[in-house]
Amino acid sequence: MEELYLWIADNMNYGVITFFMAVESSFIPFPSEIIIIPAAYIAINQGTLSLPLIILFGTIGAILGALVNYVLAYKLGRPIIHSFADTKLSHMLLIDRPGVEKAEAYFAEHGAIGTFVGRLIPAIRQLISIPAGLAKMNLSKFIFFTFLGAGLWNSVLAGLGAFFGHTLPEAQLIEKVQHYSHYVKLGIAAIIFVALVYYIYLVIKANRETSQRQ
């Protein structure tokens, strides 16, 4: 993984960001931390990349990868997807039936908003597109919520990379990326909590307004 990280760092551009974030967002296991954080670090220290464009192209890549899972699930259906999840190849890709079923249950409970929130949960983010496809979720709505979730995730990672850019020498970056990945997940969990509280507030407010009009 360290050799791949070094290659990515040496060849970092918007095309590389888009490609590897598409890979990360599909069914191929790949950590987004080693793309967005180093890209933001380079933007701060070398000025050859722009933080807003890193987030934009990273999010475009995430949408492209998510669409792969969405379309496959949409076209193949639940029996084939579940059968594939039981194969050795699927397990090599870190996909199994319990994981797919967990993502399905999460999507069934939260609906469209689950596509947004699910993009922020490490164990769910790569799989949430599958139940969306199985449920034949409206494509425009799927892309919209994926854009919001992936954009927020990439913004957090870019912010961390920018912070490192001001405080760390490059030789220590990969070590800190690995060390702080746990804190990234905790930060994302906090964002999810706030987002859910706000969503619940909006639902309650809308219900009250509907009751008052009646």
What integer pLDDT is reported at residue 53 of this predicted model? 96
What integer pLDDT is reported at residue 51 of this predicted model? 93
Q: Is the pTM of this model over 0.85?
A: no
- In angstroms, rounded to a whole number, what is the distance separating the alpha carbons of residues 173 and 43? 14
Cβ 58 vs Cβ 17: under 8 Å: yes
- Within a 10 A sphere around the Cβ of 182, how many other Cβ atoms? 9
What is the domain partition of the chain in residue ranges? 2-213
The label of the residue with tokens 């979720």 reads 137
Phi, psi torsion values for 15, nearest 5 degrees: -65, -45
What integer pLDDT is reported at residue 50 of this predicted model? 94
| Residues with pLDDT less than 50, the chain | 93
Burial of 11 (0-12, 13-18, 19+ CB in 10 A): exposed
What is the per-residue pLDDT across 106-149, written as a single tens digit (0 to 9) for each?
A: 566 666 666 776 676 665 666 777 777 877 888 888 899 889 88
Q: Which residue, among 105, 110, 100, has the nearest Cα to 76 in the 3D structure?
A: 100
What integer pLDDT is reported at residue 208 of this predicted model? 76
What is the per-residue pLDDT across 170-187, written as a single tens digit (0 to 9) for each?
A: 666 666 666 666 666 666
Q: Which residue, among 72, 52, 63, 74, has the nearest Cα to 22 in the 3D structure?
A: 63
Instruction: Please calculate the CA angle 16-18-22 and round it to the nearest 5 degrees.
Output: 115
What integer pLDDT is reported at residue 63 of this predicted model? 93
